[in-house]
Amino acid sequence: MSARAESMSTTASDLISLMKPRLSSLVLITTAGGMWLAPGPLATGNALVTLLATAGTVGAANALNCYWERHSDRFMARTQNRPLPSGRMEPAVALWFGISLAAVSLPALALGANVLTAALGLLALLSYVLAYTPLKARTSAAMLVGAVPGALPPLMGWTAVTDRLDAGGFSLFAILFLWQMPHFIAIALFRKEEYAAAGLKSVPLERGDESSRAQIVLYLVALVPMTLLPFQLHIAGSWYLAAAVALGLSFLGLGAWGFFRRLGKPWARQAFFFSLIYLTGLFAALSLDRVPRG
């Protein structure tokens, strides 16, 4: 491979990394889940455009987040090798890449789905970049703000089909919103020193480990009954209900174990990984036991 070709390959790889592919893949899964569960038809072409445009919108938000946090990213092990903190890419490239992605993706979302879904995509982009990102260095309450764009994808998938906001879509939003709380607090617990070095606020740094463990339990107490709503709203059936209860009680048990035993980083890491298993299992059960459309 020539030096020029190798350079182009590296640049392309770095641009893709700005979009945070692993995070974006989770967003696409929950968006597709929202489309699958929503009542009503959606043409295959429109569904594909919606998913691609959603991926572009999320990628734009992530690229702009990387641009904004390029200095603090140098102090965290999981982010210090990104293109900007490592010096492989000029900040202006990331900035214009993010802006260009948004300029293409949001209109495509309006055309592939509808204006409501595009508006939700714009809300997710702006709240993530202009609210959540700058607030991370000021207050741990930024976690609540950041959970809004994180919870919008399944609602966007729902509105792409229904073109309306209703209880079914909001139930998916609420589940993902509440799930993010123990997920993020667990990360902040076992990466506490990195957050401090980067100058970022978190619940463990502001409130302490005991309060963090208590908050994990409280959010799980709220999450478990919320996951019963899809059954009550006739979105999913009794097999989903059984899976939701089993997964929820397992997650709550893990949280309570850490709280009462005052466990530390190994437990927090376990809680983080279990949160991923939990969400995967919950959405798999939702998808497999969806109530057929009338």
CATH code at position 59: 1.10.357.140
Both 133 and 230 in one domain: the answer is no
Both 45 and 134 in one domain: the answer is yes
Residue 120 lies in a domain: yes
Instruction: Please determine, for residue 294, whether its predicted confidence score (pLDDT) is greater than 70.
Output: no
List Cα–Cα distances, 166 to 152, 160, 163, 169, 171, in angstroms.
13, 13, 10, 6, 9
Q: Are 239 and 288 in contact (CB under 8 A)?
A: yes
Least trusted range by pLDDT, from 48-57, 71-80, 282-291: 71-80
User: Which tokens in the block code for residue 222?
Assistant: 């709220």
Both 112 and 228 in one domain: the answer is no
Tens digit of each residue's pLDDT (9 = 90 or more) over 244-270: 999 999 999 999 999 999 999 999 999
Residue 1 lies in a domain: no
120, 139, 158: which is the final residue of a domain? Answer: 139
Residue 19 lies in a domain: yes
pLDDT of residue 5: 46
Entry pTM: 0.91
Residue 195 lies in a domain: yes
Residue 293 lies in a domain: yes
What amino acid is encoded at 46 in this protein? N
Q: Are 152 and 124 in contact (CB under 8 A)?
A: yes
User: Which tokens in the block code for residue 255?
Assistant: 């949280």
More confident residue, 23 or 227: 227
Helix locations, 127-166, DSSP H: 133-135, 142-162
pLDDT of residue 293: 67
pLDDT of residue 57: 94
Structure confidence at residue 127 as a pLDDT band (50, 70, 90): very high
The average pLDDT across 274-291 equals 94
Both 243 and 131 in one domain: the answer is no
Tens digit of each residue's pLDDT (9 = 90 or more) over 55-98: 999 999 999 998 988 888 787 777 777 888 887 888 898 899 99
The C-alpha atoms of residue 144 and residue 141 are separated, in whole angstroms, by 6
Both 102 and 185 in one domain: the answer is no
Least trusted range by pLDDT, from 155-159, 194-198, 246-250, 288-292: 194-198
Q: What is the total count of domains within the chain?
A: 2
Both 179 and 116 in one domain: the answer is no
The C-alpha atoms of residue 208 and residue 200 are separated, in whole angstroms, by 15
Residue 159 lies in a domain: no
pLDDT of residue 184: 96
Both 196 and 262 in one domain: the answer is yes
Both 243 and 208 in one domain: the answer is yes
Residue 148 lies in a domain: no
Task: Give the structural domain span for 70.
Answer: 12-139
Beta-strand (E) ranges in 86-129? Answer: none
Structure confidence at residue 207 as a pLDDT band (50, 70, 90): very high
Both 178 and 230 in one domain: the answer is yes
Contacts 24+ apart (CB under 8 A), 284-288: 285/236, 285/239, 285/240, 285/243, 285/244, 285/247, 286/33, 286/37, 286/230, 286/235, 286/236, 286/240, 287/33, 287/36, 287/37, 288/239, 288/240
∠ Cα 90 94 96 (to 5°) = 110
Residue 160 lies in a domain: no
The C-alpha atoms of residue 82 and residue 65 are separated, in whole angstroms, by 12
pLDDT > 70 in the chain, percent: 96
Both 177 and 276 in one domain: the answer is yes
104, 122, 139: which is the final residue of a domain? Answer: 139
**CATH code for the domain in which residue 290 is found:** 1.20.120.1780
The average pLDDT across 210-224 equals 97
87, 104, 139: which is the final residue of a domain? Answer: 139
Instruction: Please determine, for residue 11, whether its predicted confidence score (pLDDT) is greater than 90.
Output: no
Both 128 and 176 in one domain: the answer is no
Q: What is the DSSP letter of 292?
A: P
pLDDT > 90 in the chain, percent: 72
Both 20 and 99 in one domain: the answer is yes
Q: Are 8 and 129 in contact (CB under 8 A)?
A: no
Four-CA torsion 165, 134, 95, 29, nearest 10 degrees: -40
